């Protein structure tokens, strides 16, 4: 990817998404109780599913980082990432609306912001590629 190329914005958004997911993965896997306390969330009695989510976030961060390095080559994955973030947003907002702590709304809005930024950057890059 050339510096300042049409896919630069996509690469930046994906790199930020990778960092965001990696931070949560590290928090879940390495600092479970402290992270849960800071977010005002309980730790499940059997946290194996929580840890599995941490592993999935490590994998997702790796995918985001790989595509961020060559977004034009792997451009078909970018709208899938945006859709996944949108689904995450819906899940978090649904959980918040169902009485879960306010952090769920904040996480949902963060996922929405990533989703929109990813989709806008991708559409712009794809349009300029035509």
Give me the residue spans of the domains in the chain.
8-129
Task: Compute CA 58 distance to the chain's CA centroid, rounded to the nearest angstrom.
Answer: 11
pLDDT, tens digit (0-9, with 9 covering 90-100), for 31-73: 999 999 999 999 999 999 999 999 999 999 999 999 999 999 9
Q: What is the C-alpha to C-alpha distance for residues 96 and 91, in angstroms, rounded to an integer?
A: 9
Whole-model pTM: value is 0.91
Q: What is the pLDDT of residue 130?
A: 58
Q: What is the pLDDT of residue 128?
A: 80
Q: What is the C-alpha to C-alpha distance for residues 101 and 113, in angstroms, rounded to an integer?
A: 20
14 neighbors 75 (Cβ within 8 angstroms): no
């Amino acid at each position: 990817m050339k510096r300042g190329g049409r896919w630069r914005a996509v690469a930046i958004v994906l790199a930020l998404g990778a960092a965001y997911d990696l931070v949560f993965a590290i928090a879940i896997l390495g600092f479970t109780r402290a992270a849960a306390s800071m977010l005002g969330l309980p730790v499940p009695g059997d946290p194996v599913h929580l840890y599995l989510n941490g592993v999935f976030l490590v994998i997702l961060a790796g995918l985001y980082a790989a595509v961020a390095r060559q977004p034009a080559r792997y451009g078909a994955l970018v709208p899938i990432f945006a859709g996944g973030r949108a689904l995450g947003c819906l899940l978090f907002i649904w959980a918040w609306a169902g009485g879960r702590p306010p952090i769920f709304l904040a996480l949902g809005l963060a996922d929405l912001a990533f989703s929109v930024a990813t989709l806008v950057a991708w559409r712009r890059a794809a349009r300029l590629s035509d």
